[in-house]
Structure 1
Amino acid sequence: MKFSDNKYNMIQDILEKTEAEIEKMNPVNILIAGKTGVGKSTLINNVFRENLADTGIGKPVTKHLRRISKEGIPIVLYDTRGLELNPKVQKDVKNEIFDLVKQNKQTRDAVHAVYYCIQANSSRIEETEIDLIREISSVLPVILVLTQSIGKPAEEFNTYLENLNLPVAAVQNIMAEPYEITEDYVIPAFGLKELIDKTLQLIPKEAHDAFMNAQHADIERKAKAARRWASRYVATTFGVGFAPIPFSDASVLIPMQVTLLAHITAIFGISMDKSTIVSLIAAVGGTGSATMIGKTFVANAFKFIPGAGTLIGGLISGTTASIVTSALGLSYIEVLSIIAVKEREGESIDLGLIERLMRSQFKKNIKLNRKELKTKDLEFEGDEALNDAYASYQEMEEDTQSASRAQKTSRALSKFVSRHNPFNKKK
């Protein structure tokens, strides 16, 4: 698929604006504490995107603290290394944490919260750890994260810790990734969404966007945040002072749509490259140049709006423009949700299927009226829109796999027939 330079520049503009949005975010800074072997790396990799514990750059800050970060992800994690029950080590770690908090206070590097990890199946906590938790809690909000929480003992350990009345913000049982008991029985991952929720209640509001971008444990929450923002953006842009424009000037919608898509991409924080953006834009805007895509996009949208054909060649009202742009934003969010899920699960994305899915979701959303679109914005619980998009993608995957198997079978049969055809044999 080839595009003119103008069209390509539009794609580049989306990527550059996305990068600018991320750079504007106030980074979130979290301390991860706990003894060696309690599952801190597993927790980090399952809460935050791009396997941050494995792929992030870990720089020693002090003897016992390591700073983990990665370009393009607005989060910094401070990991305590070698935190054992040795009183001297614990004293050193405590002093290093206090120094870190003091040095970075009221700066962009200020630590916002602590995940103190304890392995739940140990069902015990030493007095020295309790003392350390109390001292850390005096300067930072702490969530006790009970890792590998299997069965009733983990629940009882949670109750025991709650009854200690430690000055912590919360106690959360988690299973960071599925745990296989037998070949036939696997305990699914749980507790990460609750951990996300409790973290958002602790960190400053100005760090919420950064945390949302960095986390990938709760894709539905990303979609909700994106829809809330998109709904406000469309209402403000097209509801206040958007004068009707001639259809011939429909390309004026481009900057508004670029801003919309860039901000949504920044909220999701997924690895979007040019080819992916091209596929999504091509699905609804055609393959014209940037100066034509606005008109092409609106013309394509009108095909799905009952009675809108009479507007071609006439004026595009603010209401019509908002419906078209809302449908674009909602469809983009639904497709990015699928991409985020696949990325989290380490699965590859078929760009052909993603393009088809974008076109399919856009056709569904553009047929909704303004009231229905607004209602869809508020569908936060039991997200039917995301379930529908995911089901559509899975159906497309299955169709593609079936077609591929049929082609392989056909080729194999043709080869068999060719080899065994007596007329092909030399006389």
Structure 2
Amino acid sequence: MKQSKSKYNMIQEILEKTEAEIEKMNPVNILIAGKTGVGKSTLINNVFREKLADTGIGKPVTKHLRRITKEGIPIVLYDTRGLELQQKIQKQVMKEIFDLVQEKKDSREAIHAVYYCIQANSSRIEDTEVELIKEISEILPVILVLTQSIGKPADEFSRYLEEMNLPVAAVQNVMSEPYEISDDYVIPRFGLKQLIEKTLQLIPKESREAFNNAQQADIERKAKAARRWASRYVATTFGVGFAPIPFSDASVLVPMQVTLLAHITAIFGISMDKTTIVSIIAAVGGTGSATMIGKTLVANAFKFIPGAGTIIGGIISGTTASIVTSALALSYIEVLSIIATKEKEGESIDLGLLERLMRSQFKKNLKLDRKELKTKELEFDNDDALNDAYSTYSQMEETNLSVPFVKKVTRTVGKFIDDHRPFKK
């Protein structure tokens, strides 16, 4: 860890450790197939973060295959650009796919799954397309993705494909982007979370962390993974013989907390720069001095933890340290969930409000008892902590911008709840 006169740049350390965590992930590699115009790019941009189809580097690897990657995102996509289904072209495409699969086999670049995209409102599948799907299915697991799935015809088409008993792993209807019927009625996006779930069942266990990092369609899945990891980390670090430390040496907590925050950031895989992390961490302590951040975090906890005030000037127990660190982790996860949701929706983020939100959630989480801290990862099925955090952020926006409440609810909270409806009671 970089040190200079007993101080180090905590933010830079978090960024560097986050990058190292992502580099350690086994990348996931997916082939995206389907005719031109079926919505492959729209699907990619809504399933994966940072509009990968538009901003990623697309490098031709063969005449019909393009490799899409972006630095910092542990996923590689292979897109069958300009796919036509004449027999001659089909044979060329299949040979290129087969050669690619063989070339990458048994390496970190091995292809894990295929999204074969068909436009649902076409309500038909050509014989040549059926043959191509069957051939691909012989060497890779295939999910048939029915794009632009609007209304009853799309459902009927899905049932028709199911009844064909094609050798595919799954058939999934999706609406990648909200579809505007009129000024008053919009069909929200749907099916992407189910696609994420089905993909995770197909890819190797060692690549699931990378896939969760790269995807943006299921924010709760990121948060749950982060909570599970944080719970284990805190239990391991503080639950087994953590030595009590003098309050004056509270800075020894910081290296542990830096590791914690870096791993959580890597799980979320959002595009956070140094300024954003500074705003979040500044809310509960500091950004440059290990002594300051450690002391401030613990001092902030004393007024919320029963009996903790008696140890000022004395000893910080393992229990107090674990409560502080747990509260820091939970609050950080909730704030990152807001950032990820805003980023997915293409909405701007107010760093001042993030700082206030972090401070607010930190105070709330310090008041949780030990049992709640251990089980809070399950709150999506109960108290729904993410919706609570998002509502708090939205209320802060209301106060800050003086936007009419009803209008704001429609624009932000409504979007969030629609996206997360499967987890609502």
| TM-score of the aligned structures, taking structure 2 as reference length | 0.92
* Aligned residue number for residue 129 of structure 1: 129
Question: Within 5 Å, which residues of 2 pair with 1:12-161?
Answer: 12-161=12-161
Contact 2:11 2:287 in 1 (8 A): no
Report the alpha carbon displacement of residue 176 of structure 1 after superposing the two structures with TM: 0.3
Contact 2:342 2:349 in 1 (8 A): yes
Distance 1:5 1:345, change over 3 A: farther
* Aligned residue number for residue 207 of structure 1: 207
Question: Within 5 Å, which residues of 2 pair with 1:362-373?
Answer: 362-373=362-373
Rounded Cα–Cα distance in structure 2 between residues aligned with 1:8 and 1:242: 24
Question: SS at the partner of 1:26?
Answer: coil
* Aligned residue number for residue 338 of structure 2: 338
- Letter of the structure 1 residue corresponding to residue 316 of structure 2: I
Report the alpha carbon displacement of residue 287 of structure 1 after superposing the two structures with TM: 6.4
Question: SS at the partner of 1:146?
Answer: strand
* Aligned residue number for residue 412 of structure 1: none
Report the alpha carbon displacement of residue 162 of structure 1 after superposing the two structures with TM: 0.4
Question: SS at the partner of 1:106?
Answer: coil
Contact 1:220 1:383 in 2 (8 A): no
Contact 2:9 2:288 in 1 (8 A): no
Rounded Cα–Cα distance in structure 1 between residues aligned with 2:210 and 2:384: 26
Rounded Cα–Cα distance in structure 2 between residues aligned with 1:347 and 1:171: 32
* Aligned residue number for residue 354 of structure 1: 354
Report the alpha carbon displacement of residue 316 of structure 1 after superposing the two structures with TM: 1.2
Question: SS at the partner of 1:284?
Answer: coil
Rounded Cα–Cα distance in structure 2 between residues aligned with 1:327 and 1:41: 39
Report the alpha carbon displacement of residue 373 of structure 1 after superposing the two structures with TM: 1.0
Contact 2:249 2:291 in 1 (8 A): no
Question: SS at the partner of 1:58?
Answer: strand
Rounded Cα–Cα distance in structure 1 between residues aligned with 2:340 and 2:365: 20
* Aligned residue number for residue 192 of structure 1: 192
Question: SS at the partner of 1:77?
Answer: strand
- Letter of the structure 2 residue corresponding to residue 83 of structure 1: L
Contact 1:46 1:176 in 2 (8 A): yes
Question: SS at the partner of 1:378?
Answer: helix
Contact 2:49 2:344 in 1 (8 A): yes
Question: SS at the partner of 1:68?
Answer: strand
Rounded Cα–Cα distance in structure 1 between residues aligned with 2:27 and 2:297: 36
* Aligned residue number for residue 170 of structure 2: 170
Report the alpha carbon displacement of residue 286 of structure 1 after superposing the two structures with TM: 4.2
Rounded Cα–Cα distance in structure 1 between residues aligned with 2:402 and 2:7: 34
Which structure 2 segments of 5+ residues have no match? 405-425
Which stretch shifts more, 72-81 or 6-15? 6-15
* Aligned residue number for residue 235 of structure 2: 235
Rounded Cα–Cα distance in structure 2 between residues aligned with 1:288 and 1:299: 17
- Letter of the structure 2 residue corresponding to residue 235 of structure 1: A
- Letter of the structure 2 residue corresponding to residue 261 of structure 1: L
**Runs of 4+ with deviation above 4 angstroms:** 4-8
- Letter of the structure 1 residue corresponding to residue 61 of structure 2: V
Question: Within 5 Å, which residues of 2 pair with 1:311-330?
Answer: 311-330=311-330
Q: After superposition, what is the alpha-carbon deviation per residue over 1:272-293, rounded to whole angstroms, capped at 9, x for unaligned?
A: 1111111111111146722332
Contact 2:276 2:351 in 1 (8 A): yes
Question: SS at the partner of 1:12?
Answer: helix
Q: Percent of pairs identical after alignment? A: 84
Question: SS at the partner of 2:49?
Answer: coil
Distance 1:211 1:382, change over 3 A: farther
Rounded Cα–Cα distance in structure 1 between residues aligned with 2:6 and 2:317: 26
Question: SS at the partner of 1:263?
Answer: helix
Q: Could you say what the CA RMSD is over the residues aligned between the two structures, in angstroms?
A: 1.6
Rounded Cα–Cα distance in structure 2 between residues aligned with 1:162 and 1:55: 35
Q: After superposition, what is the alpha-carbon deviation per residue over 1:142-188, rounded to whole angstroms, capped at 9, x for unaligned?
A: 00000000111100000000001011000000000011122222111
Report the alpha carbon displacement of residue 304 of structure 1 after superposing the two structures with TM: 1.9
Report the alpha carbon displacement of residue 381 of structure 1 after superposing the two structures with TM: 2.4
Question: SS at the partner of 2:181?
Answer: strand
Report the alpha carbon displacement of residue 6 of structure 1 after superposing the two structures with TM: 7.3
Distance 1:201 1:403, change over 3 A: closer
Question: SS at the partner of 1:364?
Answer: helix
Which structure 1 segments of 5+ residues have no match? 405-427
Contact 1:285 1:296 in 2 (8 A): yes
* Aligned residue number for residue 419 of structure 2: none
Report the alpha carbon displacement of residue 378 of structure 1 after superposing the two structures with TM: 2.2
Q: After superposition, what is the alpha-carbon deviation per residue over 1:65-85, rounded to whole angstroms, capped at 9, x for unaligned?
A: 000000000000000012112
Contact 2:10 2:287 in 1 (8 A): no
Contact 2:380 2:386 in 1 (8 A): no
1:9 matches 2:12: no
* Aligned residue number for residue 384 of structure 2: 384
Indicate the structure (1 or 2) with the bigger Cα radius of gyration. 1
- Letter of the structure 2 residue corresponding to residue 141 of structure 1: P
- Letter of the structure 2 residue corresponding to residue 94 of structure 1: M
* Aligned residue number for residue 421 of structure 1: none
- Letter of the structure 2 residue corresponding to residue 259 of structure 1: T
Rounded Cα–Cα distance in structure 2 between residues aligned with 1:94 and 1:208: 27
Contact 2:331 2:358 in 1 (8 A): yes
Rounded Cα–Cα distance in structure 1 between residues aligned with 2:183 and 2:274: 41
* Aligned residue number for residue 223 of structure 1: 223
* Aligned residue number for residue 181 of structure 1: 181
Which stretch shifts more, 330-339 or 79-88? 79-88
Question: Within 5 Å, which residues of 2 pair with 1:261-276?
Answer: 261-276=261-276
* Aligned residue number for residue 416 of structure 2: none
Rounded Cα–Cα distance in structure 2 between residues aligned with 1:17 and 1:264: 11
Rounded Cα–Cα distance in structure 2 between residues aligned with 1:333 and 1:67: 32
Report the alpha carbon displacement of residue 5 of structure 1 after superposing the two structures with TM: 9.5
Question: SS at the partner of 1:182?
Answer: coil
- Letter of the structure 1 residue corresponding to residue 44 of structure 2: I
Rounded Cα–Cα distance in structure 2 between residues aligned with 1:66 and 1:130: 22
Q: After superposition, what is the alpha-carbon deviation per residue over 1:63-112, rounded to whole angstroms, capped at 9, x for unaligned?
A: 00000000000000000012112111111111100000000001010000
